[in-house]
Amino acid sequence: MTMKRLLILTWQTLTKPSGYYSLGFLVMGGFIAGIIFWGGFNTALEVTNTEEFCISCHEMENNVYQELKTTIHFTNRSGVRATCPDCHVPHKWTDKIARKMQASKEVWAMLFGTIDTREKFLAHRRQLAQNEWTRLKANDSLECRNCHNFDYMDFTEQSERAANQHSGALASGEKTCIDCHKGIAHQLPDMKGVEGW
């Protein structure tokens, strides 16, 4: 009963005009509070968008991170490297929020230990990989293209085979990066039935 009364009181307070505070104070106060809340939200979001955050879970650190370490996306001649969110989180804000909402399921899986051993992880690997392939196929390998811009690719610097593929199937839009470049940053699942394998 008291709960209901409290709710009614809150509603009445919110719907009535303020009797004490000036309009200027409320507007300015709301504006400043908005900045603080928005800044806080964005900071928290960006914290979850770092490699340190990703590998703070052992599922990530012991499986995918260890595999990434041996690849060219981790260490190479020029020292430019990709961290987890560079490839796995869209850079555009709306897409990023959509992906973060999807990731809430991953928090659930983490809490209930869906892939908390190497064996469980390997058993789920095909499905996990498939999710990423589907996403990259749907957005035309957007996360690859954030760094690897087709317009600035120098085919003369590539091997003949690579140049043929890139100036042919990729240029015509018939294929996208992920169609050929699967398993470049992590080990592959069992590829039985995947096109081109």
Partner 1 sequence: MRNLLNLKTMVVSTIAMTSLMFSLTATSVENEVATLRDQTKIIEQQKPNLIPKVVNKDIKQGRNYPMQPPIIPHTIRSYEVNKYNNKCMSCHSRQLTEESQAPMVSVTHYMNRDGNFLAEISPRRYFCNQCHVTQLDTKELVENTFIDMHTMMKQKPSKASQH
Instruction: Name the site residues for partner 1 (rule: CB under 8 A).
Output: 70-72, 159-161, 183-184, 187-191, 196-197
Q: Are 64 and 131 in contact (CB under 8 A)?
A: no
| Nearest-approach distance from CB 71 to partner 1, in angstroms | 6
H-only helix segments in the chain: 2-15, 23-47, 51-54, 58-59, 66-68, 84-88, 93-102, 104-111, 118-138, 142-145, 160-165, 177-180
Cβ closest to partner 1, residue 53 vs residue 74: 74
Q: What is the DSSP letter of 50?
A: S
User: What contacts 180, CB < 8 A, 6 or more positions away?
Assistant: 165, 196
Encoded tokens for 79? 């020292």
Residue 5, SS3? helix
Q: Are 58 and 115 in contact (CB under 8 A)?
A: no
Cβ closest to partner 1, residue 49 vs residue 65: 65
| Nearest-approach distance from CB 191 to partner 1, in angstroms | 5
User: What contacts 50, CB < 8 A, 6 or more positions away?
Assistant: 83, 85
| Nearest-approach distance from CB 162 to partner 1, in angstroms | 9
Cβ closest to partner 1, residue 173 vs residue 196: 196
Cβ closest to partner 1, residue 154 vs residue 160: 160
| Nearest-approach distance from CB 143 to partner 1, in angstroms | 19
Cβ closest to partner 1, residue 90 vs residue 185: 185
| Nearest-approach distance from CB 182 to partner 1, in angstroms | 10
